Amino acid sequence: MKNKFKLFLSSIAALMILFSSVKADSIRIGTEGAYPPWNAKDESGKLIGFEVELANWLCIYMKADCTLVEQDWDGMIPGLIMRKYDAIMAGMSITDERMKTINFSQGYADEVASLAVMKGSSLEGMDTPKAINLSTGGGAAKKALKTLTAALAGKTIGVQTATIHQNFLESGDVGSVKIRTYKTQDEVNLDLAAGRIDAALAAAVAFTDYAEKSGKPVVLVGPTFSGGAFGNGVGVGIRKDDAALLKKFNAAINQARKNGKISELAIKWFGFDASM
């Protein structure tokens, strides 16, 4: 009996060693697979998108053996901390709030946010500049926010949970709007199209992509947002204690920018050059 127990223990130990023998150059990258065109899934369930292709390129450059791990958005950062994967590439903007918990590589792409409504909405034709930067915009940005506050009073706005877009709405910069949070951007789009929410806030490309694929009359309104609560571009999220990996990613992103790979992929997936 005792021998059997020992055998049992040692086989468990052997299995544990077998599974934990992670090669030094293997990297697991977490992504959502539900935020087109950044990262999404095709009909067969394969991950596709700007970040999926960029990740592949970076991994080849880093000579790393990469696996993409799917993770729901609301558990993205906890999943990184709990070592389900070693890096996040999920359209995640670099913000001060997130920097308290994790590190970011340098930004690889710029994400501008925008409000979207259904065609015919009373919010169309707001008198605001084309784009505002909350960090550097100064008076013009303040004036635009005032216009928005007046226009959005009493409106219900949908956002994906745990995003910069939710943070922005909760910051009170556009007054006290009614916020509805969704697990995925798909669900935000569905409820926008169904008329349950008056407007939605997300990456501008998320709406243009949806409008194009669904044929629904979703239009962007108001200015595009950047800076402030919207962070400073999208980067690779990495655990604070993982300085070596951070360095590797930074070098690889540098290279990808220099040789035009990021621009090329951005034009392919976004229709314009969002590299930074």
Partner 1 sequence: MDLDFAIEHLPRLLKAAKLTIELTLLSLFFGIFVGVFFAILRTGNSKVLYYISYYYSYIFRGTPLLVQIFIIYFGLAQLEWIRESFLWVFLKEPYSCAILAFTLNTGAYSSEIFRSAFETINKGIIEAAEGLGLSKLNTFFKIKLPIAIRQSLPAYGNEMILMLKGTSLASTVTLLDLTGVAKHIISTTFRPVEVFIVAGSIYLLMTFVIHNVIKLLEKKYNYT
Binding site for partner 1 (CB under 8 A): 74-75, 77-78, 81, 97, 101, 158, 161-162, 180-183, 187, 190-191, 194-196
Name the token pair of 109: 């792409």
Nearer to partner 1, 28 or 183 (CB): 183
Nearest alpha-carbon partner for 233 in 87, 109, 97, 96: 109
Least distance CB 79 / partner 1 (angstroms): 10
Q: C-beta of 28: minimal distance to partner 1 in Å?
A: 18
C-alpha–C-alpha distance, residues 61 and 255, integer Å: 8
For partner 1, which is the closer residue by CB, 97 or 212?
Answer: 97
> For residue 20, what are the β-bridge partners?
none
CB of 161 to partner 1, least distance (A): 6
- Least Å from the CB of residue 141 to partner 1: 24
CB of 183 to partner 1, least distance (A): 6
Q: How far apart are CA 90 and CA 16, in angstroms?
A: 30
Pair type for strands 113-118 and 199-203: antiparallel
Spatial separation of the C-alpha atoms in residues 95 and 75, rounded to whole Å: 17
Classify residue 191 as left (phi > 0), alpha (psi -120 to 50) or beta.
Answer: alpha
Pick between residue 62 and residue 99 the one whose CB is nearest to partner 1. Answer: 99
Using the CB atoms, write b or e for 205-227: b if 16+ within 10 Å. bbbbbbbeeeebebbebbbbbbe
39 versus 160: smaller Cβ distance to partner 1: 160
Output 87 or 252, the one with its CB closest to partner 1.
87
Q: How far apart are CA 5 and CA 138, in angstroms?
A: 71
Q: How far is the CB of 80 from partner 1 (least distance, A)?
A: 9
What is the nearest approach in angstroms of partner 1 to the Cβ of residue 186? 9
HSE (CB half, 13 Å, CA atoms) of 29? 29
Residues whose CB falls within 8 Å of the CB of residue 86, separated by 6 or more in sequence, listed in order: 27, 28, 29, 80, 238, 239, 242, 245
Neighbouring C-beta atoms of residue 101, cutoff 10 Å: 13
For residue 26, the minimal CB distance to partner 1 (Å) is: 25
Residues 116/61, Cβ–Cβ less than 8 Å = no
